[in-house]
């Protein structure tokens, strides 16, 4: 099993920045990929990006391209999501995800591509 805990959410003004962190515990040595999704009220869960822990390949969703950056801290089993130039439409609950199976990148763009999820952290961007 893998447990995920997100942190770093909060309230920020438009144009500001936030850094989210996701720390994994449990059977972390077998994690292939860690991802970020977000869900706004009344909307479906949206892919933000993911990182392959075996190849360091990173794929971003359309909403965060050029503004969001995913990085990893191996020593702390942590993945970060740096979000810059935030917009009010970035307001959502952000979820961290992880998976212990090898899958192709397109599969990582959907929620079914991950077996483990964190509880989520709220990000609110005011205009």
In eight-state DSSP terms, residue 68 is: E
Please state, in angstroms and as integers, the Cα–Cα distance from residue 82 to each residue in 20, 87, 107, 113, following that order: 6, 14, 23, 22
Quote the pLDDT of residue 15. 97
- pLDDT tens for residues 11-60? 999 999 999 999 999 999 999 999 999 999 999 999 999 999 999 999 99
- pLDDT tens for residues 75-101? 778 999 999 999 999 999 999 999 999
């Amino acid at each position: 099993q893998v447990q995920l805990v997100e942190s770093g959410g909060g309230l920020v003004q438009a144009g500001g920045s936030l850094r989210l962190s996701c720390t994994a515990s449990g059977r972390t040595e077998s994690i292939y990929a860690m991802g970020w999704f977000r869900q706004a009220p009344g909307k479906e869960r949206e892919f933000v990006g993911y990182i392959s822990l075996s190849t360091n390949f990173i794929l971003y969703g359309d909403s965060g391209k050029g503004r969001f950056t995913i990085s990893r801290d191996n020593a702390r089993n942590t993945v970060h999501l740096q979000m810059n130039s935030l917009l009010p439409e970035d307001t959502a609950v952000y979820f961290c995800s992880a998976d212990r199976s090898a899958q192709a990148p397109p599969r990582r763009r959907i929620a079914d591509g991950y077996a483990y999820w964190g509880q989520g952290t709220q990000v609110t961007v005011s205009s």
